[in-house]
Amino acid sequence: MPCRAIAAAILITAAMPAFAVFKCVENGRTTYSDEPCGTAAEKIDTTPARGYASEARARETTADLQARADGMRRERIARDLAYEIRNAELNIESLQDRMAAELDALRSKKSRAANNLAGAAWEQSISTEMQAVATRYQADIAAERARMADMRDRLQAVAGR
């Protein structure tokens, strides 16, 4: 029981201000003291503020925070989309380079064909293979460009808000 009484006394004492603060203006000089410095001493309220000054300010602050969070979310989305667009551009360049390398290899192979019926048939099969390679890469490039165009549209929509 004595421990509870001591704890209660400590809590009550902690809730009350330890001392008063007075503002004194003497000869144009402002000083602060824990004792009144004269008849012109002004007692200053030192109780801590609790909560918001008004509900309107609280709502305004919440709205401001929400707007800021929305702005940050849009910036993140825009940054991610710009990153993905750059990756798509690099992927298209890579696809084009790989297509050119494969076609060059097939052209080199085609140039070694003999000038006879077997060589002509082999040349024809290489030409068909070259056409298939070009078609496959062009389809991949077209799909990547469509994905990139979609990302650019989404980027404009995010930036336009």
Query: Which residues does 96 contact at the CB level (< 8 Å), separation at least 6?
Result: 137, 141
Q: What residue ranges do the domains of the chain occupy?
A: 2-44, 55-160
- Cα–Cα distance measured from residue 1 to residue 62, given in angstroms and rounded to the nearest whole number: 46
Q: Which DSSP state fits 40?
A: T
Q: How high is the pLDDT of residue 42?
A: 81
Q: How high is the pLDDT of residue 52?
A: 57
Q: How high is the pLDDT of residue 16?
A: 47
Phi, psi of 156 (to 5 degrees): -65, -40
Residue type at position 99: M
Q: How high is the pLDDT of residue 57?
A: 62
- Tell me the CA distances in angstroms from 40 to 26, 45, 76, one per residue in order: 9, 16, 57
Mean pLDDT per 10-residue segment, the chain (161 residues):
58 54 80 77 73 61 87 94 95 96 93 84 92 97 96 91 60
- Cα–Cα distance measured from residue 88 to residue 141, given in angstroms and rounded to the nearest whole number: 10
Q: How high is the pLDDT of residue 59?
A: 66
- Cα–Cα distance measured from residue 116 to residue 93, given in angstroms and rounded to the nearest whole number: 38
pTM tops 0.75:
no
CB 126 within 8 A of CB 113: yes
N residues, the chain: 161
